[in-house]
Amino acid sequence: MQLKDLHSFRVAAERANLHHAADALGVTQPALSKSIQRLETALGVRLFERTARGVALTAIGQALYARNLGLEQ
């Protein structure tokens, strides 16, 4: 797990849209998807569910997001 992947996860969670998050991070959407996939693989869980309008955090994703906020303050 890379710190960069956690940052990418946080931005994607806040934007709830991978294209918007990728733009904010200055990366391509496939690169962002790979970063999130690395994090999901390392943790052995799904962090996002696809929706009609973008992505939504799973319950585990919500817990990680709350924990991630605490680490960056």
What are the structure tokens assigned to 36, written together?
């999130």
How far apart (Å, rounded) are the C-alpha atoms in residues 20 and 14? 10
Q: pLDDT digit string (tens) for 34-66?
A: 999 999 999 999 999 999 989 999 999 999 999
Between 30 and 2, the more confident residue is: 30
Instruction: Provide the pLDDT for residue 2.
Output: 84
How far apart (Å, rounded) are the C-alpha atoms in residues 14 and 7? 11
Quote the DSSP letter at residue 56.
E
Predicted confidence (pLDDT) at residue 73 exceeds the cutoff of 60 = no
Predicted confidence (pLDDT) at residue 5 exceeds the cutoff of 90 = yes
For the question of whether the overall pTM of this predicted structure is more than 0.75, the answer is: yes
Ramachandran class of 26: left when φ > 0, alpha when ψ lies in -120 to 50, beta otherwise: left
Please choose, from the candidates 13, 5, 6, the residue with its C-alpha nearest in 3D space to the C-alpha of residue 72: 6
Instruction: Provide the pLDDT for residue 72.
Output: 58
